[in-house]
Structures are given as structure tokens and as C-alpha cells.
Amino acid sequence: MVVLAAAPLRETCARPRIEAAVAMKSRPAGGTRTAAAGGSETLVGGGLPPTPLSGLVARLVMSLALAVMIGMATPMLELARPAVAAAVAVLVAIAAACSFVVQLRARARQQECDRAIEALARHLRLPQLTRRACRASRWRDGWVGVPDRVVWQYGPGAPNTDSEWLTELVDVTGRRFGGRYEVAQQKPRQRRVYLVRDLSPASASAGDRRVKAFSRQIFGAGSKVAVELDDDGEIAAFEVRDIDAVKFSDRITQSRAERKVSNLMPDRFRAKFDVVRAQVRFERRPTFPESVWIPVVDIDTSLDVLQSYDQVEIQYAVDEDRNILAWSPAIQPNLMLIGTPGTGKTVTAHTLLVQASRYGWPIWVVDGKSIEFLGFQDWPNVQIVATTTAEQVAVIERAHALMEYRYQLITKGTVTENNFEPLLLFLDEWADFRANLLDWYADVKPGGRGSSKPRALSMAASIARKGRSSRVHLVFGTQRPDAEYFTGDMRDNFPLKISMGRLTPQAAMMAWESPVIGTTIPRKRRGRATTVDHEGMPIEAQCYRTPDPRKVADESFEAELLDKLRPAEVKHPRLLIVPPELDPANADRDDDFVYADYASASWVLASSRPDLDPVAQRRCDPVDGRTLSSPLTMLGLGGDAGESREGTDATPSTPPSAGASSMPSAPRAGADDVDDAPFTTVDDGYDDADEVHVGEVKIGDLVLVDDALEHWAVVVDVGDDLIEPDCVAISWRDDHDGDGELTVSTDDIVIVRKPSKEPLDA
């Protein structure tokens, strides 16, 4: 039940109360016409006449006179002894006094009711003043006391279905009688409203009373609230019944009510609306962990990949309730991973790779930055990590060829889809790979009528469209969903998306077809992402943290975790791609190699060509990394510099050159592009601060919450305040996962920073 406090919760933009006492004048014959709220007219008398005190005094005097007469007449008539007569007279006098006191208190209580009737006459739309309009009973707490039950009779024109009308009725009743009331029942046919007094003990927490008060203001005076406390006596949850189901039927209004309640409570709460039952339940929202290490899940490795294919669930994150979110490739064939540097995108990609390898899946990796997956070159079941452009082209070409080959087998009726071992293909940092590929293609493009673009680009899109039936699954990683390749057709081929960190409204529109989803993620919470739940609805999640084998220290927690995650059995051997110029089959060839030569390069087992195996070379040829990476070595001056250092193991005499690489490659990723880059600052992606009218504030803008602290936060929602009707509520969320609400007048000016309107495909 809703406790209705006499005073409003806020002073800002407070709604003027309807209470207006009728002037205490003598009532003219027939009453007078007065304009009521809403424009209708009601007939209201001048005031209720007070109960005369003279009648009570006269009855008291008569009772006392009777007592005296009894005392005097009894001895004269010799009906009793004098002592008995005196006692009878005293009892009569006491009875008379008690009767007078009782009637005097009844008169005082009636006066309280009269004042309440006069104050609410217009609000109740009474045709005339009558004491039948209010019935108060069960008085307690004091000589006059406060009634526990008040029944109001309203006029035919009263808007009894209006929540504000009921709120005003309860407010004025509480102020007039000095208690807190709530609507217990309403009988429209009899035009009656039954109010009951809240009898919660005075020791009830202020938070309990506050919840009931603002719930009435948000959901209507007729709503009822039941509060649940935890072991510490704090509010853990509360349920509001008899809400306006029509008003709160849409998701936008429900979200605003949820944020309003959270902003009025010391903790964040979430809402679960049941519009059918006209009720809502609020529960304390759990906090997201700042980091969650990848769990070591028990997997039945005795099952063959064909047997376990339909049951594979690659866990990658948890939601706020710690529910595990997983990717089921048999249902969602492809996954798109979106995120700028520093958001945790590469770490999440490592999580997907490690989890898939434990199921015994063969994995091919196209490492667009050339350095993000180096630590997994010797990871069990990772067959190849392509780090050069030529290798990456060969991987895409062979994955596409495998897909087409399997389609041919299906067409011939030789096999069915159930005979195919799954293959997981990672295309990471697509924008970098695409740029490098176009630059490289200019050097290896065949003459004549060769294609203007490398066919690897169209093959990647083809794998996204057709890979499911051939069980060639794709994990597509990119920093932003560029419009050039993220069309509707491409988007539909990725039923599961994970967008890391905060998106701009433009990027959110491309990724989620909504300018709102994913735009309020705290920027200083690495690994926080937007994804979908098991019902396909976008939710916020915390992605698992997986160590990079290349960066962990020996005997550290990360090293121990990787040992537990490492598959015990290698089911798929490592592979190498033989560069055309190093292939013995091309020993007699004099002409330059073109795109097709690299695309169709030979593949061999890594164990058969240790001279081409980067893992074997790193193990056999330790070098002084500091000297090798110095500018002097790069400039060809490394010999002298290396001799001046003590303890160097090896110093190359000549620097690497573009022609020294066995396969052409031009990676463009800089040091500041790696996933360990610092978090983006508040200035990234937004225009300069500007003063705008509150009506121009949009979701996704940055709003200045506190000028003195330079506290900026992203706007989560903008809409009419649910408590203050003449105000606008701006809900916000900052980079530290804090949230709140600004309540401003509809004419106010606020300081915001709009998202930059730079084209996504720039």
C-alpha cells in the first residue's frame, strides 16, 4: 500500500495544490455557482454551520440539577440512608460530566471533518456542502485523535479515475487529519473513496516511507506498495500494485519509471513490469564486476566434434545477474565483434578462440594487425595464424574453397552436412586488413583484364552468407561498423554481435539499428559490452578476461590459468603456407608472382618445414629484442650500437627491408592501435561544449552534470519528469558507471557536447 506523505518530495517545479478552503460565510439560499477545476461548475454552499455548544452546556446543567435534586429528595422521602443518597447523586453527576466530555469530543471530531469537507468541496465536485460527504471512524492517538478510516462521497462530475485527483484527495486528507493515508478501495457506482491510515510503527525506516510516498507520486495515489527488507533492514525490493497499466504499457515509460525510482533510492533498482496484472516489481540491481576471468569449464573431450557440434556453447560473458552468455555456432553461425582500442575487443576474441579450441575445433586466424594472435601460433588446434597480407589472402581463399568444395559434395549427394567437421575462421581487424590488402594488391595485380579489387574481399562476404551449411563459421572483428561493408545484407548474416565499449549514435544505428543501444556503456570499464541474451534482446554484459600467452609471466596466476585452459590433446596439426618464391615447384620461374600465385600457395605441415616455422625459429634463435628493435638497427647502423652493449645475444648486421620479407606485407597498425591503448578521453568523438535549450538535448550527448567538478556524463534518456509535470528529466551515466538524473525546467539552458558527425566510412 502506498503511504501518502503530507509534504511533497521536492520543492523544485512543485505542482500547485488544488486545496482551497471555502470561505466561512453564511450560506445563501440555494448556494452559489463556482468554477471548478477542469472548467465545470459545482454548487457549493458558503460553509457548514458549527455544532452549537449551548445545547451541550444545557444538557450538562440539567444533569447536574437532577443529581442535586436526587440528593435532596432521598432523605426527605426516607427512601434510603443519607450516604446512599449522596452516592447516587455523585454517580449521576459523574455520568453527566462523562456524557458532556464525550459529546464535546464528538463535536471536535465533527469540526475536523467539517474543515476537511470545506477544504475539498470543490475538489469533490459537491453540489452542496453536506456532512454526508465525509465519514471518519476509528479515531485514536489523542483526545480528539486521528481517524484510521475516512470515507469520502464525491459528486457526479469528479474525475475519480484521474491519479492526480486521487493524489490530491489523499494529500489534503492527510494534512487535515494529521496522518498518512492511502487508497484502500473505491466504489465508482456509489461515488465513494475509502482511505485507510498507514499504521506502520514510528520505527519504520524513513526509506520505507519514502518508497511508498514517491511510488504514489509516480504510479498514482491508488497504487499499493509492499516493501521487502534484507537481513540488515535495508530495502531489497518492493512491489507496486494497481498501477495505471495504460500509462506504463510502453517500454519507454517503463524505463523512465525505472530510472526515476533508481535516482530516488540510494541503490540502483531495476523494474519488472506486469502490465496484465497492473503491477511492477523493483529489485535492487546487482553491480557489474570490473573484471571476470575466463572460467575453466568442464568439457567432455571424449566426444567427437561431429557428436558435440549441436551442443557447443562458447561462453564469453556474464550479464548483471551473473548469467552466462554463450555463442552457439550451430544456431548462430557467425559472430561480429566490434570495438575500438582499449575496450577489450582483442581479449574477447582470445576468449572465443580458447573456448573453441577446447572443443577440438580447427581454427584459422587472419590477424589484421599481425601481432594480436601471435601468442596462439602454437596453441593446440590453432592450425595457422596468418600475419602477412599474402598469408591472409591464402587463408581466406582456402576457407572459401573448402566451403565451395563441401557444397559440391552436398550437391552430388556424396555426403550430408552432418559429415562436416566445423572450421572456425577469425577475420580480425577487418579495416586494417582491407587497407593493407588494397595497397598490396596494387603490386601483385595481374595485367590485362584483372579485377580492380582482390577477390578475397568478396570471398569473405560469401563465407558470411553461405558458411553455415558447410560449417565454416566466421568471427568477424572490426573497430567500427563502417557503412561501406556493413550493409543490411551483411548485418543479417551476424545474428550474434558483441559491441565493446560505448558506441556513437551513428555506430549504434549501424550495429543495432537503433541510435540508443550501446551508447551509454561506461568508457572506463574495459570488457563491458552490449550483446544479446538468449531471447535475442540487447543487454549489457561483462566479457571474460583471457590472458595473452605471449605476455604472461612464468609462474603467475595468468600462466596457471592458461595451463588449465590449454587443451590436453592436439586434434589438428599446425599448418604453414609456402611462399611462391620459396616453393621448389617454382624454381625455374623468372616472371613476377601475381595475386593468384599467393592465393593458391602450397600448404604444408609445420613439422615438415621448420625453416618456415616462426615458432621453431623463435625457440632456436634468441635475440636481444632491445637491440633488434632500435632505430639504429632499422637504419642499418646496428652493428656498432650492438657492440657497445654488454650481454647481447645477437645483433643483426643489416636491418630488415621491404624486400627481405619472404612474403609481401604492409601492416599499417601502429603502437597506439594495440588493445592495451589507454582509455579514450572525454574529448574523443564529441564536439566542443555548447549551451543549448533543454529541448535540443538528445540521447548520446554529453551533458555537464557538475560545472565545478567538470563532471560530464552521457545522456541516457530525456523526457517529461514523472513527478514534476512542468520539468524535464535528463537521465545520465558517467564513465565510472555512476548514474543520476537532472531535473530542469522546460525553459532551461544546459551545457552539452554533441557527438561528432564524422562519416563512419571516412
Q: What does 140-194 look like in DSSP terms, one character per residue? A: ESSSS-EEEEEEEE--TT--TT-HHHHHHHHHHHHHHHTS-EEEEEEETTTTEEE
8 A C-beta contact, residue 749 and residue 691: yes
- Residue 175 banded pLDDT, cuts 50, 70, 90: confident
Burial of 653 (0-12, 13-18, 19+ CB in 10 A): exposed
**Residue 341 annotated as part of some ligand binding site:** yes
Q: Tell me, what's the pLDDT at 333? A: 94
Tell the residue number behind the cell numbers 459528486, with chain if given: 155
The label of the residue with cell 537532472 reads: 742
Per-residue pLDDT tens digits for 500-551: 998 888 888 888 888 778 888 888 889 999 999 988 889 999 999 999 999 9
Which residues are within 8 A (CB) of 681 and not within 5 positions of it... i.e. 6 or more apart? none
Is 342 among the annotated ligand-binding positions? yes
Structure-block grid coordinates of residue 440: 598490396
- Flag whether 142 is marked binding: no
3-state secondary structure 674-711: CCCCCCCCCCCCECCCEEEEHHHCCCCCEEEEECCCCE
Please give the model's pTM, rounded to 2 decimal places. Answer: 0.67
Give the N- to C-terminal CA distance of the chain in Å, as an integer: 57
Write down the pLDDT at residue 475. Answer: 96
Question: Across-strand partners of 326?
Answer: 315
Name 751's Cβ contacts closer than 8 Å, sequence gap at least 6.
Answer: 689, 690, 691, 692, 703, 704, 707
pLDDT at 200: 64
Model confidence pLDDT, tens digit, residues 124-158: 998 888 888 999 999 988 888 899 999 999 998 88
With left for phi above 0 and alpha for psi between -120 and 50, is residue 125 left, alpha or beta? left
Angle at 138 between CA 136 and CA 143, to 5 degrees: 95
Q: What confidence tier does 662 reach under pLDDT thresholds 50, 70, 90? A: very low
Asked if residue 743 belongs to a known ligand binding site, the reply is: no
Confidence of residue 706 (pLDDT cuts 50, 70, 90): confident
Mean pLDDT of the residues in the chain: 80
Specify the CATH number of the domain 292-496+541-605: 3.40.50
Q: Which among 46-50, 298-302, 735-739 has the top mean pLDDT?
A: 298-302
Of 181, 178, 177, 157, residue with least CA distance to 167? 181
State yes or no: pLDDT of 16 exceeds 50.
no
Q: Which residues of 80-108 are buried (b: 16+ CB within 10 A; e: fewer)?
A: eeeeebeeebeebbeebeeebeebbeebe
Three-class SS of residue 488?
helix
What's residue 44's pLDDT?
A: 43
Q: What is the pLDDT of residue 657?
A: 39
Question: How confident is the model over 340-392, as pLDDT tens digits?
Answer: 888 999 999 999 999 999 999 999 999 999 999 999 999 999 999 999 999 99
Confidence of residue 31 (pLDDT cuts 50, 70, 90): very low
Instruction: Inform me whether the pLDDT recorded for 199 exceeds 50.
Output: yes
List, for residues 572-610, the tens digit of each pLDDT value.
999 999 999 888 887 777 678 999 999 999 999 999 999
The residue ranges of DSSP E strands in 285-338, in sequence order, are: 292-293, 314-318, 324-327, 334-338
Query: pLDDT per residue over 57-101, tens digit each?
Result: 666 566 666 666 655 555 554 555 566 666 666 676 676 677 767
Q: Is there a binding annotation on residue 343?
A: yes
- pLDDT on residue 619: 74
> Minimum mean pLDDT among 22-26, 50-54, 382-386, 627-631: which range?
22-26
Predicted confidence band of residue 231 (pLDDT cuts 50, 70, 90): confident
The answer to whether 339 is a known ligand-binding residue is yes
* Percent of the chain clearing pLDDT 90 (strictly above): 37
Q: What is the pLDDT of residue 279?
A: 93
Sorted by where each begins, the domain ranges of the chain are 1-199, 292-496+541-605, 613-661, 690-753
Are the C-beta atoms of 507 and 480 separated by less than 8 Å?
Answer: yes
Q: How far apart are CA 504 and CA 525, in angstroms?
A: 16
Report the topology of domain 690-753.
SH3 type barrels. (2.30.30)
The CA distance from 555 to 26, in Å, is: 95
**3-state SS assignment for residue 442:** helix
Q: Please count the CA atoms within 13 angstroms of the CA of 167 that sit on its side-chain side.
A: 22
Residues 6+ apart with CB under 8 A from 81: none
24 CB contacts (<8 Å, ≥6 apart)? 46, 47, 118
Residue 335: all three cell numbers together: 559472430
The pLDDT of 452-461, averaged and rounded, is 90
Q: Among candidates 426, 419, 418, 295, which has minimal Cα distance to 358? A: 295
Three-state SS for 570-617 is CCCCCEEECCHHHCHHHCCCCCCCCHHHHHCCCEEEHHHCCCCCHHHH
